[in-house]
Homo-oligomer: A and B are copies of this chain.
Amino acid sequence: MGPGPVNAHPRVLRAMSADLLGQFDPEMTGYMNQVMELYRPVFGTENRWTMLVDGTARAAIEASLISLVTPGDTVLVVDFGRFGLLLQEILQRIGAKIEVVSVPWGEVVPLDAVAAAIERTGPKVVATVHGDTSTTMAQPLEGLGDLCRAAGALSYVDATATLGGMEIAADRWGVDIVTGGLQKCLGGPSGSAPITISDRAAEHIFARRHTEAGIRMAGLDDGSGPRIPSNYFDLAMIMDYWSEKRLNHHTEATSMLYAARECARVALGEGLDARFARHAAAGRAMTVGLRAMGLTVFGDDAHRMTNVTGVHIPDGVDGEAVRSMMREEFEIEIGTAFGPLQGRVWRIGAMGYNAMKHKVLITLGALEACLRREGFSLPAGEAVEAAMTAWEA
């Protein structure tokens, strides 16, 4: 019950036991095409270029930024937590000129502040996180695409922590690239990162296409733009690999592709709306339960992620001792925190296969027991009862 990675869905674990296939075997390329089809609704998009990057969620972030941004380009980062810092860190290495619009941890950036920052900085690319687990806040993105397009900017969204748990509306938001991971709300393992790319962004990236010597083929021209300074993260080559051209690039990570496919099948089988409602119920029950225990929930209620809840460690309680007791006595992991929140809050997840009523209730009951052991005085039994009621609300 941490902020991810979390327990995987048993169907996803079983899917990885299937034997491997050659990477150009028609059965394998058929699965690749299914993955493209399955992830479009998950991302809320009709984008043709919807596929996987073979690496962890961070790999897809870097692939997106290195393929969109040319050294010297101005990039505006919407920064409201640790993963906004990560976007800047990656962009520094790419050689971007970085501008930032930021807020204190626990808040989100108002759209008019983003608009003003775009006006002020004239970025080529605007990059933001959707849900930042470091602060448990979800940045509203409705209208971001219009702002960016009006300013001639491309847009990138890191939805690692929300994909499959909160609505991702790539097309309605009008954003150009959105990436995710399996290990949060999709209930799978880290190591494969779904991505969707708008036609507009794809055109921009194909203008930087430089096909490897030795696998060039007729009808596939190199672009006039500057070469992307990574082979592995060159989205032009990755798109060519996932296209009907099947131009050889990396060897697709077969077992992880099976996992990614099964994650999406489980999510669509449940129904995305039902899934978002389940995560919302879990987040609501967790928040209500923690408050009924007398604890203070961290951050702004209006923009809380549904799938991870920050809660202040009460005065006089040793946060790490409680985490250890939770792990050792109850086999339940809860998360510590980063940066300004380190030692001040725990982060308790309820995402993917863990966003279930019984898991929320058991976690609250266990936390209550651990806090009592640590000498924290609380109204016994109320957290679980309040959470049961709140789940149905």
Contacts and interface: CB of A to CB of B under 8 A. Distances in A.
A190 B233 CA distance: 16
A83 B5 CA distance: 35
A251 B59 contact: no
A213 to B, nearest CB: 5
A327 B25 contact: yes
Contact of A90 (B190, B214, B231): B231
Contact of A54 (B7, B59, B66): B59
B89 A213 contact: yes
A177 interface: no
A229 B232 contact: no
B253 A190 contact: yes
Given A85-B214, A95-B229, A250 B20 contact: no
A55 B62 contact: no
Q: Among A7, A58, A190, A249, which residue has the most Cβ atoms of chain B within 10 A? A: A190
Contacts of A56: 54, 250-253
Given A85-B212, A215-B338, A57 B17 contact: no
Contacts of A8: 19-20, 255
Nearest to A230: B93
Nearest to A22: B333
A212 B89 contact: yes
A94 B229 contact: yes
* Chain A interface extent, by class: 35 or more
Nearest to A6: B20
A13 interface: yes
The SS class assigned to the A binding surface is loop
A111 interface: no
Contact of A93 (B2, B190, B227, B256): B227
A386 B86 CA distance: 60
Interface in A245-268: 248-256, 259
Contact of A190 (B183, B190, B231, B251): B251
A70 interface: no
Interface string A44-72: 00000000001111110010001000000
24 contacts: A5-B23, A8-B19, A13-B18, A17-B17, A20-B189, A22-B333, A22-B335, A54-B55, A56-B253, A57-B250, A57-B251, A58-B250, A86-B231, A88-B213, A89-B231, A95-B229, A189-B253, A189-B255, A190-B250, A191-B191, A214-B338, A215-B338, A232-B233, A255-B256
Interface of A: 2, 4-8, 13-14, 16-23, 25, 54-59, 62, 66, 82, 85-86, 88-90, 92-95, 181, 183, 189-192, 212-215, 227-234, 248-256, 259, 327, 333, 335, 338-339
